[in-house]
């Protein structure tokens, strides 16, 4: 039997049934069977939709929770780095402030020379490939510097002036002198005043024109020079009875070149000069007299061999 009712009544029954205020049986009694079956399917559909909706929301929530938790893990890591860097900067700044580091390092490159005015009015001229290190903050109290290479000093009168090298120490009182100290070559020339030279093996006092030299660990010797100042200050390198390999090294440092000198004897002793402004003339002045042929193998690499 088909039941007849108004739409408003149906809506009311339907709402109450879906809300659970009417049991299935009560609702079945109020509507016809076809409608009831249709409503059952709709309610089932709604139930399934709710079930489908629920896990989606949960998954979304879980993903959000995971993102949130990941963000929470990254944040402290970043913060630690930032704190670390800030702390390091603060520490270094503090060290500089408290330790008062005033170390000055001055270097020259190939073929370069530099004139440095020191705080006490003294002057140092550095030849090519030379390095000096000194403490600017303590300079007035202690005039002391480290030298690797060759430098000419014009020292103002004062408490003392010490040049420390790997080969020995040079100490003076207001004077002019030249120090050339490389790995196994140590040469000190006094041009004015008095210079003390101290090595592991001996102590010497040099007066004007005196030259102290120690080569390759051999016994040191003191000789005289006629020069008024080192020639390199005026753009020339001068050597007096020097093993050729030191002259070759000086050429390399002056002109930024390399020599293939495997076939050259280490016993050749050279006296002479080369200019700093012409490689061709420099090569000729050094090697022509020694009967050595020089040929450019590749750019800035020169092969040396004795002429036939």
The residue (of 53 and 288) whose beta carbon lies closer to another protein is 288
Token code pair at residue 115: 């004139």
Put residue 256 in one of left, alpha, beta given phi > 0 → left and psi -120 to 50 → alpha.
Answer: left
Q: Are 236 and 276 in contact (CB under 8 A)?
A: yes
The residue (of 59 and 234) whose beta carbon lies closer to another protein is 234
The residue (of 171 and 238) whose beta carbon lies closer to another protein is 238
The residue (of 147 and 250) whose beta carbon lies closer to another protein is 250
The residue (of 197 and 279) whose beta carbon lies closer to another protein is 279
Q: Are 292 and 304 in contact (CB under 8 A)?
A: yes
- How far apart CA 158 and CA 225 sit, in angstroms, is 26
- How far apart CA 199 and CA 222 sit, in angstroms, is 13
User: Going by C-beta distance under 8 Å and a sequence separation of 6 or more, which residues neighbour residue 157?
Assistant: 173, 174
Q: HSE-up of 91 (CA within 13 Å, CB side)? A: 6
Q: Are 263 and 304 in contact (CB under 8 A)?
A: yes
> Shortest gap between Cβ of 132 and another protein (angstroms)?
27
> Shortest gap between Cβ of 208 and another protein (angstroms)?
17
Q: Which residues bind another protein (CB under 8 A)?
A: 226, 236, 238, 241, 268-275, 278, 281, 284-286, 288-291
> Shortest gap between Cβ of 154 and another protein (angstroms)?
20
> Shortest gap between Cβ of 192 and another protein (angstroms)?
19
> Shortest gap between Cβ of 239 and another protein (angstroms)?
9
Q: Is the dihedral of CA 41, 43, 44, 48 positive or negative?
A: positive
> Shortest gap between Cβ of 279 and another protein (angstroms)?
12
């Amino acid at each position: 039997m088909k039941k007849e009712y108004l739409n408003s009544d149906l809506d009311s029954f339907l709402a109450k049934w879906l809300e659970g205020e009417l049991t299935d049986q009560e609702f079945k009694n109020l509507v016809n069977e076809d409608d009831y079956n249709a409503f059952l399917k709709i309610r089932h559909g709604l139930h399934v939709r709710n079930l489908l909706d629920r896990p989606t929301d949960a998954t979304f929530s879980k993903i959000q929770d995971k993102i949130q938790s990941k963000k929470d893990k990254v944040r402290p890591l970043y913060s630690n780095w930032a704190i670390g860097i800030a702390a390091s900067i603060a520490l270094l700044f503090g060290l500089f402030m408290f330790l008062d580091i005033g170390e000055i390092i001055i270097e020259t490159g190939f073929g370069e020379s530099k004139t440095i005015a020191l705080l006490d009015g003294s002057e140092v001229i550095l030849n090519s490939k030379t390095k000096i290190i000194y403490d600017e903050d303590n300079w007035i109290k202690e005039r002391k510097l480290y030298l690797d290479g060759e430098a000419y000093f014009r020292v103002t009168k004062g408490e003392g002036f010490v040049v420390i090298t790997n080969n020995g120490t040079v100490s003076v009182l207001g004077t002019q002198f030249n120090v050339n100290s490389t790995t196994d070559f140590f040469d000190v020339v006094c041009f004015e005043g008095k210079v003390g030279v101290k090595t592991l093996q001996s102590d010497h006092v040099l007066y004007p024109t005196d030259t102290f030299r120690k080569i390759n660990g051999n016994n040191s010797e003191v000789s005289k020079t006629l020069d008024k100042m080192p020639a390199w200050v005026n753009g020339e390198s001068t050597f007096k009875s020097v093993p050729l390999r030191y002259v070759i090294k000086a050429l390399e440092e002056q002109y930024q070149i390399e020599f293939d000198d495997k076939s050259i004897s280490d016993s050749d002793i050279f006296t002479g000069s080369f200019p700093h402004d012409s490689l061709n003339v420099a090569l000729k002045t050094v090697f022509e007299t020694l009967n050595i042929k020089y040929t450019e193998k590749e750019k800035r690499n020169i092969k040396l061999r004795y002429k036939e």
